[in-house]
Amino acid sequence: MAGSHICTPLGRPPFRKPSSLLYYQDGPPHAVDIDTWRLNVRGLVQRPLSLTYADVQRLPRVTMNRRTVCVCNWSVRHDYGGVLLKDVMALASPFETAHDSFLRQESMGTAEKGTYASTVRLGPALERAALLCDTIDGRSLSLERGFPLRFIDFGLYLYKCVKGLSCLELTTTWELGEWEARAGYPLDGTIKPKKYWICDLEDRRLATTPGEIKDF
């Protein structure tokens, strides 16, 4: 559909976080069978992986209180729990140096709407402690919020961070995903310094530097 947007423009201040359904172009999946779900890691890796949910849970766990930001200018801070991208990458053992490679994330999607993909630079994602997230504020993700696993690079707008993950692929190409291209969003996706609606603080605040918002 020409001129469609990933993010529906917001009419008035979102003092509550906008519904996740508004921003879930390919989903949410109707149901996920956690016994057959896999996180596949492939591409330029020495050891391709097909991790079960239990395999993911066995990796070292972290919880980080950080802020995510939607390109529609709202932001929310939570305790995001899961495993570090770095630990999954260490298992898969990339061929390329992280500096030169890209991480393409793809969702499970739905039969009707297909999948959602986005590609980020691997090196900066690792440096920023990007997360494969499976809990928010201590609770398992709902289908709407990306069950069973979602990628989050906190320095990038959320359109670069795929929910309902099925595959991580290491590549040497940096391309927009279909949904991102339709919406006309930039390939890079670094969070811009400007004013955002801060849902958790019920306030509008100015982020003064590009990248992850750490000041409030």
**Residues in touch with ligand MTE (CB under 6 A):** 6-7, 20, 23-27, 70, 107, 116, 145, 158-159, 161-164
The residue (of 94 and 158) whose beta carbon lies closer to ligand MTE is 158
Closest CA to 118 of 135, 136, 130, 134: 130
The residue (of 6 and 84) whose beta carbon lies closer to ligand MTE is 6
Which one of residues 39, 41, 56, 70 is an interface residue with Mo ion (CB under 5 A)?
Answer: 70
Q: How many CB atoms lie within 10 A of CB 122?
A: 25
Name residues contacting Mo ion, limited to 153-172 (CB under 5 A): 158-159
Name residues contacting Mo ion, limited to 101-160 (CB under 5 A): 158-159
Q: How far apart (Å, rounded) are the C-alpha atoms in residues 16 and 9? A: 15
Task: Pick left, alpha or beta for residue 211 (phi over 0 → left; psi -120 to 50 → alpha; otherwise beta).
Answer: left
Q: How far is the CB of 180 from Mo ion (least distance, A)?
A: 10
Contact yes or no for 64/131 (Cβ under 8 A): yes
Using the rule CB under 5 A, give the single segment among 8-16, 36-44, 66-74, 187-195 that binds Mo ion.
66-74
Q: How far is the CB of 10 from ligand MTE (least distance, A)?
A: 11
23 makes contact with Mo ion (CB under 5 A): yes
Strand (E) or helix (H) holding 91: helix 85-92
84 makes contact with Mo ion (CB under 5 A): no
**Distance set, CA 13 to CA 9, 202, 211 (Å):** 11, 9, 22
Report the interface residues with Mo ion, using CB under 5 A.
7, 23, 70, 158-159
